[in-house]
C-alpha cells in the first residue's frame, strides 16, 4: 500500500515537472480569464503555503492555514517555487502526532486533528489546485501535463474500471 507521503511526494513532484516544462516565466504569471484572472503562480503559491503552514505547525502542535505568508516571490518566480517545493519534499515525512487546527482569524475555531490527516488534506488540496492549473494551461494552449495531473486518484481508478 502506498503511503500518504508517497502520494504527496508524487503530486508535488508533478508540479515541479510542470514548472520545469513551462515554455517561459510569462505562462507562469499570465492571468487566466477562465480562473477570474488568477495565475498558475498564484495557485502554486497557495499549494506551497499550505504545506508550509503544516510543517511549521508540526513543531508547535498548532496549524493555522489562515496565517500563510502569501509570498509573492513564489507566485512570480517559478524557480523560487521549485526550490521551496523541494524543501517541502525533504521535510514532509514525519511521525504522526496530534495537532490543533485553528480556522478563522476572527472568532477562531480549533479542532483536533493529526499530522497524517493534515498531510492527506494538503494532498487533496494540491490535486484540486492542480486541476485549476490545468485549466490555465489549456486556456494558454500549453499542454505539458500528464493525463492524471489534477485528477483525484479515485477518479483515475474509476476511469480505468469504466475502460475495461
CATH of the domain at 101: 1.20.120.450
- With bands split at pLDDT 50, 70 and 90, how would you rate the model's confidence at 16? very high
Phi, psi at residue 151, to the nearest 5°? -115, 130
User: Distance (Å, rounded) from C-alpha 124 to C-alpha 84?
Assistant: 19
Classify each residue of 1-16 as buried b or exposed e, where b means 16 or more C-beta atoms within 10 Å of its C-beta.
eeebeebbbebbebbb
What pLDDT is recorded for position 86?
98
What pLDDT is recorded for position 163?
77
* Domain tally, the chain: 1
**DSSP character string of 90-135:** HH------EEEEEE-SSS-EEEEEEHHHHHHHHHHHHHHHHHHHHH
What pLDDT is recorded for position 156?
66
- What average pLDDT is seen over the chain? 92
Residue 144 has pLDDT above 60, yes or no: yes
- With bands split at pLDDT 50, 70 and 90, how would you rate the model's confidence at 159? low
Rg from Cα positions in the chain: 16
Domain that holds residue 123: 4-163
What pLDDT is recorded for position 27?
94
Task: Dihedral sign for Cα 140, 44, 64, 148, please.
Answer: positive
Q: What is the pTM of this model?
A: 0.91
Q: Which set of grid coordinates corresponds to residue 128?
A: 484540486
From 8-17, 76-85, 113-122, 155-164, the region with the lowest mean pLDDT: 155-164
Amino acid at each position: 500500500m502506498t503511503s500518504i507521503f508517497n502520494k504527496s511526494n508524487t503530486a508535488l513532484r508533478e508540479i515541479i515537472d510542470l514548472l520545469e516544462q513551462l515554455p517561459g516565466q510569462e505562462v507562469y504569471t499570465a492571468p487566466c480569464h477562465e480562473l477570474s484572472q488568477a495565475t498558475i503562480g498564484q495557485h502554486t503559491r497557495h499549494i506551497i503555503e499550505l504545506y508550509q503552514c503544516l510543517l511549521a505547525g508540526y513543531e508547535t502542535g498548532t496549524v493555522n492555514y489562515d496565517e500563510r505568508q502569501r509570498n509573492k516571490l513564489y507566485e512570480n518566480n517559478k524557480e523560487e517555487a521549485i526550490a521551496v517545493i523541494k524543501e517541502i519534499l525533504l521535510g514532509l515525512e514525519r511521525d504522526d502526532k496530534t495537532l490543533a487546527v485553528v480556522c478563522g482569524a476572527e472568532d477562531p475555531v480549533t479542532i483536533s486533528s493529526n499530522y497524517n490527516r493534515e498531510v492527506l488534506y494538503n494532498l487533496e488540496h494540491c490535486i484540486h489546485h492542480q486541476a485549476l492549473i490545468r485549466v490555465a494551461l489549456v486556456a494558454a494552449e500549453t499542454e505539458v501535463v500528464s493525463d492524471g495531473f489534477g485528477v483525484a486518484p479515485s477518479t483515475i481508478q474509476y476511469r480505468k474500471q469504466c475502460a475495461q
